[in-house]
A and B are shown apart, each in its own frame.
Chain A
Amino acid sequence: MVKIDIQRLNIWFGAAQALKNITMQVKKNEILCAIGPSNSGKTSFLRMLNRLNDLTLSFRMSGSVLLDGRDITKIDIELIRKKIGMVFAMPSPLPLSVFDNVAYGVRMSGVRNKHSLEEAVETALKQAYLWQEMKDRLHESAFKLSGGQQQRLCIARTLAVQPEVILFDEPCSGLDPISTAKVEEAMLKLKKDYTIILVTNNVKQAARVGDRTAFFLTGELIELDQTEKIFTAPSDRRTDDYIRGRFG
């Protein structure tokens, strides 16, 4: 089942075109990985989906992007960002306590009831496999956590808003291998309930967790296929070169 349907998408920042004529679908409950060298447009692609690109004044786009059949540019911007959550490249806790970080989005959507907030925080932390470590540290500053814990906190914070799609923008680029494994484990379990799009610079990570993988190069979608096929028998020579580390 198609969750996000993208047709003839172009993105510009000023005169520079970041994405060229992208047509693709994201399926419900899959992990779609986007790989490619830097400047390939994969992060612009991700930030377009929850409309964070709109913060950049020079941003323009054309084409259509449908979430469950509805044009994302015609849905209320706060609602689209609740439905499509995002985990950023560097762990980015807000300067608040662990509890307040996870509760932030829930509070902003109008929930004031203490009990509901506590419940939402506990559920989200459990989903991000952080509850055991955090249940006695809820009121400490989020900055006191380790990098890996911070990143899982950011995942929990995103989950607490109950999104349908989660965007991961190189979520493990600042993490050690053990923390990376934990984040990957969380992602694999999350795809049961969510649709996940993962931008990664780590080709092996795409191979480990991706159901399908998209290869971007200088703003073009070169190839999108089952991860296994991309890594064993890609149809485009440039994909093969990138995966084998011949460039990028």
Chain B
Amino acid sequence: MTSLQRQKIAFALLFLANLLVIVPVGLIVFIIIQKGWPAMTWQFITDIPRQGMRAGGIFPAIVGTIYLVSGAIVFALPVGLLAAIYLSEYAKDNLLTRIIKLAIVNLAGVPSVVYGLFGLVLFVSFCKFGASILSGSLTLGIMILPIIITASREALESVPHVFREVSLSLGASKWQTIRHIVLPNAIPGIITGTILGIGRAAGETAPILFTVAAFYLPRLPSSVFDQVMALPYHLYVISTQVPNVDPKITYGTALVLLILVLFVNLIAIIIRARFRKKKKW
């Protein structure tokens, strides 16, 4: 075999591996659109579930998911960002720092159902928030913290060192340097982490199972202490717990969840692109 042939085989293998990545994604999207599209009516999106969730719409679940994701981000983004700034800019390399970093890595590896139990014990029972939007958002928030911290740290650390030196050499304090030079240039990376977090928070069922999700609640919540329906849990319920649900409603729900996540991601991507354009090095 000549080296050229070997190169061609290697190239074909690499290409095949990529194809294997694309095919399932394409199939999932295709099947969900094909089977769910017939359900997509204005009523489906804006109405409450009717006839034991076998008809009507999924509006409360859409609103519930939006509330939960927003709540998770409102909690996790500031905490995660501040933690990332501390770790990348201030923390000295000592035992405490190493423990914190280890904890973050481990937090990322904890199964989501464990987060659910944790939320049940801490927020629902101990803090007496009950099964509520607050408990669910905080649980989801803790789950996406490691994603946001890791992405933000990488973003902060990728800001060229020379910018910091220049800023300091002009008499700026360390905080001024972080505030005016490091942070603005790290925003695209921080947004990337947030996008990943949003996707995760919107899609997980287990963390909201014990902390917020309602089986059937055909009205909108009036405060953060109310329960809500949420898309992933609703999907689980109508596909396993309720007999005789028209598959198009099930796939329609999946499609809405997919579109919702993509839509939120799209907004974040647009914001990121605008910041990237401003980035000039």
Contact = CB atoms under 8 A, between A and B. Distances in A.
A78 B172 contact: yes
B170 A81 contact: yes
B128 interface: no
Interface in B217-238: none
Given A55-B165, A92-B162, A94-B163, A108 B280 contact: no
Interface in A82-118: 82, 85-86, 88, 90, 92, 94-95, 104-105, 108-109
Interface stretch (B55-63, B100-108, B173-181): B173-181
A104 B170 contact: yes
Contacts of A233: none
A108 B172 contact: yes
B185 interface: yes
Nearest to A84: B169
Contacts, number: 65
Contacts of A86: 169
A90 B160 CA distance: 13
Interface residues of A, number: 26
A94 B167 contact: yes
B259 interface: no
A94 B166 contact: yes
Interface string A131-168: 00000000001110000000000100110010000000
Interface in B230-267: none
Interface in B142-171: 162-171
A181 interface: no
Nearest to A54: B168
B280 A81 contact: no
Interface of B is mostly: helix
A105 B185 contact: no
A79 B185 CA distance: 26
Contacts of A55: 164-165, 168
Contacts of B162: 88, 90, 92
Contact of A81 (B169, B181, B279): B169
A109 B173 CA distance: 9
Nearest to A163: B171
A54 B169 CA distance: 12
Contacts of A104: 167, 170, 172, 180
**Interface-central residue, A78, A108, A109, A154, by most chain B CB under 10 Å:** A108
B31 to A, nearest CB: 45
A95 B171 contact: no
Interface string A37-53: 00000000000001010
B281 interface: yes
Nearest to A154: B166
Contacts of B180: 104, 108
B168 A81 contact: yes
A52 B171 contact: no
Contacts of A81: 168-171
Given A108-B176, A108-B180, A85 B281 contact: no
A105 B165 CA distance: 12
B165 A52 contact: yes
A154 B167 CA distance: 11
B170 A85 contact: yes
Interface string B80-105: 00000000000011000000000000
Interface in A1-53: 50, 52
A105 B172 contact: yes
A145 B214 CA distance: 60
23 contacts: A50-B169, A55-B164, A55-B168, A81-B168, A81-B170, A81-B171, A82-B171, A85-B169, A88-B162, A88-B166, A90-B162, A92-B162, A92-B166, A94-B167, A95-B163, A104-B167, A104-B170, A108-B173, A109-B171, A142-B280, A143-B281, A158-B169, A161-B171
Given A79-B171, A88-B165, A90-B162, 10 more contacts: A55-B165, A82-B171, A88-B169, A92-B162, A92-B163, A94-B163, A94-B167, A94-B181, A95-B163, A108-B180
Minimum-distance CB pairs A-B, first 6: A105-B170, A82-B171, A108-B172, A86-B169, A141-B280, A143-B280
